[in-house]
Chain A
Amino acid sequence: QQQVKQSPQSLIVQKGGIPIINCAYENTAFDYFPWYQQFPGKGPALLIAIRPDVSEKKEGRFTISFNKSAKQFSLHIMDSQPGDSATYFCAATSSGSARQLTFGSGTQLTVLP
């Protein structure tokens, strides 16, 4: 069964801190790794995504680091703000899965003011 393992389950940081959320996968056929952000009472929304041919992707304060050999990827949030408080999901997909998403279990991030 395809799996994506995500940690930690919850994370609390002070404003300005750099929370890091980690994900690991086993299926080497995965070729696209999106991160979704979900605010309470809302549906998830795409935040940032990476393909395995690059080791890092940055969009604003959000950075994905990708280690293909270790089959791990992580989300870093620079200069975190209280407005970043949300649940973050990593995900993975492959062309062989007809582009279905396999999600991690989620990380609830709280950024204290």
Chain B
Amino acid sequence: DAEITQSPRHKITETGRQVTLACHQTWNHNNMFWYRQDLGHGLRLIHYSYGVQDTNKGEVSDGYSVSRSNTEDLPLTLESAASSQTSVYFCASSHLSGRSSYNEQFFGPGTRLTVL
């Protein structure tokens, strides 16, 4: 069955370290998204991609970067981890949507990141 996976599921790191969170989907979806989830804020978009070599900044992109070298993967990198980046991170994917249509976003199980 097609799925979307994230790794690691839990990560503890120290301030200033570089951290990369993996996201892999087997649906062959064009669109991929990274969100962070914090109590009281819901899910906020960090970065998104509409295809290979395409990346875009979301609402809370400072301190994060992504790259899309193939359809299946969109790794999220924290260049220099900060305590404010302690959060639960979700990856999602969807088929390409037209202007008059919307395709469901499928979410991964999440990665809980703690920055000490």
Residues of chain A at the chain B interface (Cβ within 8 Å)? 1, 6, 9, 32, 34, 36, 41-46, 49, 89, 93, 95, 98-101, 103-106
Contact = CB atoms under 8 A, between A and B. Distances in A.
Given A44-B107, A45-B107, 14 more contacts: A34-B102, A36-B107, A41-B110, A42-B109, A43-B107, A49-B102, A93-B102, A98-B50, A99-B102, A100-B45, A100-B58, A103-B35, A103-B42, A104-B42
- What bracket does the count of chain B residues touching chain A fall in? 20 to 34
A44 B43 contact: yes
Given A93-B102, A95-B100, A100 B48 contact: yes
A43 B110 contact: yes
Interface string B21-60: 0000000000101010000111111001010000000110
Given A32-B102, A46-B104, A95-B100, A41 B109 contact: yes
Interface of B: 31, 33, 35, 40-45, 48, 50, 58-59, 90, 92, 94, 97, 99-100, 102-110
Contacts of B58: 100
Nearest to B44: A103
B13 to A, nearest CB: 21
A89 B43 contact: yes
B99 A95 contact: yes
Q: Which 4 A-B pairs have the closest CB atoms?
A: A43-B107, A103-B42, A95-B99, A99-B97
A43 B109 contact: yes
Interface centre among A1, A44, A49 (most CB of B within 10 A): A44
21 contacts: A32-B102, A34-B102, A41-B109, A41-B110, A42-B109, A43-B108, A44-B43, A45-B106, A46-B104, A89-B42, A89-B43, A93-B102, A95-B99, A98-B50, A99-B94, A99-B102, A99-B103, A103-B35, A103-B44, A105-B40, A106-B42
Contact of A6 (B42, B99, B104): B42
